Amino acid sequence: MIIINPMAPLAIYSEKVMHMFRGCKSEDMPPHIYSLAQSTYRSMLTSRRDHSILLLGRSGSGKTTNFKHILHYLVLTVGSVNKVLTIEKINSISIVLEAFGNARTIMNSNATRFTQIFSLNYDQAGQIASASIQLLLMERSRVVHRPDGEPTFHIFYWLLAGVEGALRKELYLEHLSNEPNLFTTPLHKHEDKQKAILDFARVCSALSVLGVSNTEVKAIWSVLAAIYHLGIAGSVKADNSNTVRWQFSNPQSAQRAASLLGTTSEELSHCLFGEDNSTPRTSFPTSSPTDRLLDRDLTPLEMLEGMVVGLYGEVFNAIAALINRSISPVVHTVSSLMVVDCPGFQNPASCGHQGGATFQDMCHNYLQERLQLLFHQTNIVAPRDRYAQEHIELKCDDLAENEIYSPNPLVSLLDRTSQNVMIRTSQPDLRDVDRWGLLWLLDEEAVYPGACDEGFIERLFMHYRDRDHQLLLRKAPGTNQFVLHHLQGTNPVMYTATGWLKASRENPMARAAVALLHESTKDDISKLFVSIKGPSISSTLGSSVVGMDGTQSLRRASSIRRTFTTGTAGIKRKSVSLQVKFTVDGLIETLRRTKLKFIHCFLPHHNAGLTDLHNSVLKNNSSSLNADDLLINVPLVRSQLRGAQILDAVRLHKQGFPKFLPLSEFRRRFLLLAPPDGRPTSPILDERKAAEDILRGMELDLTSYRVGMSQAAHKQLWSRALLACRGRVRSRHSILGFCRGQSCIGEELVRDRMCGGKVLML
């Protein structure tokens, strides 16, 4: 399905329209997000197989909006047991996750900065018995580092503007100073402050709907306020000592942060800065000598940033655990439907930003490339392999296999593992088996003390300077810059690799922050964050699968948990780049086990994601809006069509035979339509010949079907027409049988109902 961001609310998304699609068959529904949700739900019921809906596209193309439409439809039209999941809860979950996980970027006024898997688990009756969320690849570093002109997560601005009364005093926010803050900037416009106040009230109300207690909410606000005060506290070199020592530049703000976290300013200072510059600031029993040496290279400011990143990561994990507690009862379920939403392709240059994409942007783009490769394998490679396996000839000369049209070469450039041990060398003529992917090169380069970003760029081009990779990777004119040609070359993204080596290494203070919260003297803080401690590796990866243990219906997602707990290479090495790869591997493995449905969201023009800004301009002065922003950028849409391989998939679907049915099942279901003299009278020994005889006797168009070695393949419309004809014949036979006192047709219907619910397809 293809959806173009309309950039405005439309009347076609309403409760009334949802009820129009409820219970309909695929052939009875027009193209709509609700029709895809309904057909997926119907397919899950008939097959008793887990299904997934994936949303792909560039940032700002409307993936999260359509993600909400799908959930609203499934919850409203199907319903849940004991109201475990309601529309009110769905809205509350969206409000909370957008507050803590979304931010404004150069491409999107409300950009999602994490990957979300929302699982709906169904019982025997087809109702929602439980649900769960899994949050992956959270961009925690945005709390301390972000591109120029981009703010941090929404919740900080909403908290500072919206908290009031005694709570504001307890958080030491009653008199906000004008002192510079390392991690956030204040709101200046009056209308922005008023909107932030309303948004904060919405978040508080949403947390209440989800059953979060006042003490738990207060614990979350305390940690966020502590992050704000740590941004003011900063760090500075002490002048009153002969040794090199560091301290907080604003001791009063540091004292406030320590008080909110349930510790003392002395303990906080010692945790961050140590006794002196020669004393390790943190110690982990499992740290290797190399790890300890690299950790000592961190500056006091970087240690402070690591602490803040760790604190916010735990807050985000707590939010996930509290949501799962509200919607995940321990029940038995038979099938699941997963809806996956992730950050879109990041290309800041498309919106005029010349600074280049960041390491976090590269991680999000890597996930999008992997999902596009999954689409390619599911809709192009798998059907062709199936035709070959069934010895079905398919005339598609314009769909000849060619690696240049597959996402696989670029994915391999990013994550391939060499067959040999990695050796740091300057040898220019590397064999193909010696090449390592970008993520592995980044991890390897970050291990060596004294390594620099320039050295990483040099090694990257040493591995991929040959002609075969020039269409995928090229140098950019700026320092530490390179260009990757994503989506079959339709979306070239320029990256700036400055700071990537440090970004790919876990900051040790991220784990220290976890211990700090667990050992807090404030009971509400320690109880909350100890309760979410589980098998997840949220402290290192910024991912959350917490709050889900013991729930039988959630064990279908065990491959993601298993990847977190057994893909230990990246965790032991404290490598963020490898953790990203292992997390994506786990996600892809989980999705492969399900029946996949893809939704491609397109941008009508490059600035379509800045919807709120456009709407405000229209309200104030419609004449100031560029006319080009109101029209569809046709070359951009064509580029997205080519990059997503939509035309290739559609052409293969149209020229091929997408519907398959085992020969024995085909004979059983459609023998009724064959002429009486064409029906076999003896036991069937050759199912293929029997199917051919049935089809030959029906005098059907030979271009609409093929008989393979074990299955019959046919066109979509041919299948619907055949089923409709079969239904009419069976109805006529039922009437005749009833008049004659026969019940054979009724017995056949009973057998159909016992065969996996296939009667629903009639």
pLDDT digits (tens, 9 = 90+) for 233-286: 988 877 665 666 788 889 999 999 999 999 999 999 988 887 544 444 444 344
Overall average pLDDT of the 510-530 stretch: 94
pLDDT (0 to 100) of residue 737: 59
- The answer to whether residue 517 scores a pLDDT higher than 80 is yes
- Pick the closest to residue 617 from 608, 626, 609, 606 (CA basis): 626
Read off the pLDDT band of 523 (50, 70, 90): very high
pLDDT (0 to 100) of residue 237: 78
421-424, long-range: CB < 8 A, 24+ apart: 424/448, 424/459
pLDDT (0 to 100) of residue 185: 85
* Binding residue ranges: 57-64
Range in 55-64, 327-336, 415-424 with the lowest mean pLDDT: 415-424
| Phi, psi for residue 536 in degrees, rounded to 5 | -75, 160
pLDDT digits (tens, 9 = 90+) for 715-747: 876 666 666 676 666 666 666 555 665 554 444
Q: What amino acid occupies position 360?
A: Q
List the domains of the chain with CATH numbers: 2-143+326-357+599-652 (3.40.850.10), 154-323+505-543 (1.20.120.720), 361-370+395-503 (1.20.58.530), 657-761 (3.30.70.1590)
Helices in 30-137 by DSSP H: which ranges? 33-47, 63-78, 87-101
Overall average pLDDT of the 388-400 stretch: 75
Quote the crossing angle between the two packed helices 663-670 and 716-739, to the nearest 10°: 40
- The answer to whether residue 397 scores a pLDDT higher than 80 is no
Which of 354-363, 651-660, 734-743 has the highest average model confidence (pLDDT)? 354-363
Pair 170, 355: CB distance under 8 Å:
no
Please state, as a whole number, how many other Cβ atoms lie within 10 Å of the Cβ of residue 259.
19
Ramachandran bin of 121, using left for φ above 0, alpha for ψ from -120 to 50, beta for the remaining angles: beta
Beta-carbon contacts of residue 722 (< 8 Å; ≥ 6 apart): 670, 673, 714
- The answer to whether residue 758 scores a pLDDT higher than 70 is no
Is the Cα torsion angle 70, 72, 76, 78 positive or negative in sign? positive
Read off the pLDDT band of 565 (50, 70, 90): very low
More confident call, 443 vs 469: 443
Overall average pLDDT of the 107-127 stretch: 95
403 exposed, middle or buried (CB, 10 Å; 0-12, 13-18, 19+)? exposed
Q: H/E/C letters for each residue in 630-678? A: HCCCHHHHHHHHHHCCHHHHHHHHHHCCCEEEEHHHHHHHHHHHCCHHH
pLDDT (0 to 100) of residue 678: 58
* Percent composition of the chain: helix, strand, coil (DSSP 3-state, to 5): 55, 10, 35
pLDDT (0 to 100) of residue 544: 53
Structure tokens at 495: 């990256």
pLDDT (0 to 100) of residue 692: 82
3-state secondary structure of 434: helix
Structure tokens at 243: 């040794």
Q: Residues of the chain with pLDDT > 70: what percent?
A: 77
Read off the pLDDT band of 542 (50, 70, 90): low
pLDDT (0 to 100) of residue 567: 46
Vertex 472: Cα angle to 451 and 352 (nearest 5): 85
Pair 614, 70: CB distance under 8 Å:
no
Distance CA 89, CA 207 (A): 10
Q: What is the end-to-end Cα distance of the chain in Å, rounded?
A: 24
State the residue for tokens 């359509």: 66
pLDDT digits (tens, 9 = 90+) for 600-637: 999 999 988 887 654 554 455 544 445 555 678 999 99
Distance CA 455, CA 457 (A): 5
- The answer to whether residue 66 scores a pLDDT higher than 60 is yes
Query: Which whole-number Å values give the CA distances from 406 to 267, 396, 402, 488, 588, in the listed order?
Result: 54, 17, 7, 7, 17
pLDDT (0 to 100) of residue 664: 86
**Dihedral, CA of residue 255, residue 261, residue 262 and residue 265, to nearest 10:** -30
Read off the pLDDT band of 680 (50, 70, 90): low
Strands 473-475 and 481-486: antiparallel
- Pick the closest to residue 143 from 86, 205, 36, 223 (CA basis): 223
Range in 6-20, 73-87, 451-465, 562-576 with the lowest mean pLDDT: 562-576
Distance CA 666, CA 690 (A): 10
Distance CA 484, CA 124 (A): 48
Please state, rounded to an integer, the average pLDDT across all residues of the chain. Answer: 83
* Binding residue ranges for ATP: 57-64
Could you say which DSSP state residue 575 is in?
A: B
pLDDT (0 to 100) of residue 499: 92
3-state secondary structure of 131: strand
More confident call, 439 vs 426: 439
Structure tokens at 295: 């950790």
Read off the pLDDT band of 177 (50, 70, 90): confident
pLDDT (0 to 100) of residue 206: 98
Overall average pLDDT of the 566-571 stretch: 48
pLDDT (0 to 100) of residue 401: 53
345-349, long-range: CB < 8 A, 24+ apart: 345/57, 345/58, 345/59, 345/486, 345/487, 345/491, 345/493, 346/59, 346/105, 346/107, 346/493, 347/58, 347/59, 347/107, 347/491, 347/492, 347/493, 348/105, 348/106, 348/107, 348/147, 349/493, 349/494
